[in-house]
Structure 1
Amino acid sequence: MDEIGHARKALAVCNGGYFNVSGNFGPVGMEIAEGTRSEKFVAGEWVGGLMVRQGKASLVWSNEFQDAPDISEFVQCSPWLVSEGRIWPVSPGKEPEPRNNRTFIMTDAAGRWAIGTAKRTGLLELAHILITPGIITEMKVNRALNLDGGPSTGLWCRSESGAVQFEKPGWAVRNAIIVAPRDSK
């Protein structure tokens, strides 16, 4: 992530979608990187993805996804955390929810985006944090998607002054989400 961030003149880089840790290191679910496709979309109740189509990013849920040749970037992941400003219902299990490191991506209804990490949190707890007034003051979260977490959790970012902060993932990851100024290419 550090090399990618510097090479791409990025503002931020985080780990992306799930991958097969044993075997071929291939993606779990659809991945499209610079127009190159890997695997097929796997539909599911809590499945979503970060999609770039005709230069515009969006978070799409499984029931909204329609494949098209003009999708240049896509990373499938799950579960949804927030949809239309509300916590996506995660069915409570019989056991306490696992508290892991998490990576997430979120957007509001006005075109603002953020990526982030959370330490030792459950999915439902993270969703509550994202929509609780006063915690995130820069935007009101409309949609949020959990990305690959656990030992994959990593975040590289550069401040306006150029200072770099890097939370290195515990292991190598297959893909990353890169936030870069439009004029960086």
Structure 2
Amino acid sequence: MIRGFRRSSRNTREKFKDRRRVVRFRYASAARSFYGSLLLLLAALAASAQAEWKVLSTESERGRAGIEHRHVAVEDAAAGQRVTVDVAVFSPKSTALRLIDNPDGQSLDAMMKREKFVCGVNGGYFDTEFKPIGLRVADDTTFSALRRARLITGILLQSDRGIDVVRAGQFSRTKKIVAAVQSGPFLVEGNKRIRGLNDSQLARRTFAGIVTNDRAFLGVCSDVSLADLANILATTPIVADSKIRRAMNLDGGSSSAFWFAREDGSAFSISGRKPVRDFVAVVPK
């Protein structure tokens, strides 16, 4: 009986050790999960704290057809970063969008002065053979087909119903499309910034969008990440008292260019650093 008791005691001790191992394992797993979640939360809080963009200054001037040019300086004080944003804001009631095909690689400045355009920016992406990537419609004619790709998720268009920015997956031919350019990614939707955009690569940016009081805009921005550009557009009064409903990215970097015709006939321009395949322009109705 003593021997049996000893064997029973050993079995009990082993079972107790096994239970302690399970408890320790569960505790360690729970601790790792807790601290992992805590680190993610702290990282998110740090990121949000570093992304508080504030307007430093705003300059505004009028152009033809009621267009307004706004030059806005913004700052993220926590990150020590300053960015300048230039936007041309216009009403679809008095103006219309046009897509200009540019197979010869002329400059935006030269193209804008050739006709009665009141403002313009570079357009969408193109490949190494200078062929457009994604949908292009100019003067009611499609010269590049719609493509399904992760980056080019947006379409800026002029239809018989006005100017709009739509998701590529929601694009419909039921409307008469006069002009369209596919690009991306989306930056703002439903007055809120798109999350998950790249936050590390800084470059000049070109963008387009629509605002709450039935106006549209074209713009460029000095070196900034896509995530920060989305944050700037969604949280700062770049377009005066209006909220941005939807905005999308156009081709940027060395392609970025901006042109605006002042009321006195002179022009404000930011030149691109390389030829681009197409331009988005605004004309008076």
Name the TM-score, length of structure 1 as normaliser. Answer: 0.87
Aligned to 2:207: 104
Give the counterpart of 1:39 among 132, 144, 166.
Answer: 144
Of residues 66-75 and 106-115 in structure 1, the stretch that sits farther from structure 2 once superposed is 66-75
Amino acid in structure 1 at the alignment position of 2:148: A
Aligned to 1:56: 162
Q: CA deviation at 1:161?
A: 2.6
Give the percent of matched residue pairs that are identical in Structure 1 and Structure 2. Answer: 28
Identify, as 1 or 2, the structure richer in helix: 2
For 1:133-144, list aligned pairs within 5 A: 133-144=236-247
For 1:72-83, list aligned pairs within 5 A: 72-83=178-189
- Cα distance in 1 for partners of 2:184, 2:122 equals 14
Deviations 1:82-106 (A, max 9, x none): 00101112256xxx52000000012
Return the index of the structure with the highest Cα Rg: 2
Aligned to 1:10: 117
Aligned to 1:168: 271
Correspondence 1:84 to 2:193: no
Of residues 35-44 and 75-84 in structure 1, the stretch that sits farther from structure 2 once superposed is 35-44
Higher relative contact order (CA 8 A, sep 6+): 1
Q: 1:91 to 1:135 in 2, by over 3 A?
A: closer
CA contact (8 A) 2:134 2:147 kept: yes
Give the counterpart of 1:19 among 126, 142, 145.
Answer: 126
CA contact (8 A) 2:197 2:227 kept: no
Deviations 1:67-93 (A, max 9, x none): 35821211000100000101112256x
Amino acid in structure 1 at the alignment position of 2:138: A
Name the TM-score, length of structure 2 as normaliser. Answer: 0.58
Residue 10 of structure 1 aligns to a residue whose secondary structure is coil
Amino acid in structure 2 at the alignment position of 1:12: C
Q: 1:135 to 1:32 in 2, by over 3 A?
A: closer
Q: CA deviation at 1:36?
A: 2.2
Unpaired segments ≥5 residues, structure 2: 1-107
Q: 1:68 to 1:173 in 2, by over 3 A?
A: farther
- Cα distance in 1 for partners of 2:244, 2:281 equals 20
Task: Give the paired residue count.
Answer: 177
Unpaired segments ≥5 residues, structure 1: none
Residue 233 of structure 2 aligns to a residue whose secondary structure is helix
Amino acid in structure 1 at the alignment position of 2:207: F
Aligned to 1:66: 172
- Cα distance in 2 for partners of 1:9, 1:91 equals 37
Amino acid in structure 1 at the alignment position of 2:219: G
Residue 142 of structure 1 aligns to a residue whose secondary structure is strand
Residue 2 of structure 1 aligns to a residue whose secondary structure is helix
Aligned to 1:148: 251
CA contact (8 A) 1:101 1:121 kept: yes
CA contact (8 A) 1:44 1:62 kept: no
- Cα distance in 2 for partners of 1:129, 1:161 equals 31
Residue 59 of structure 1 aligns to a residue whose secondary structure is strand
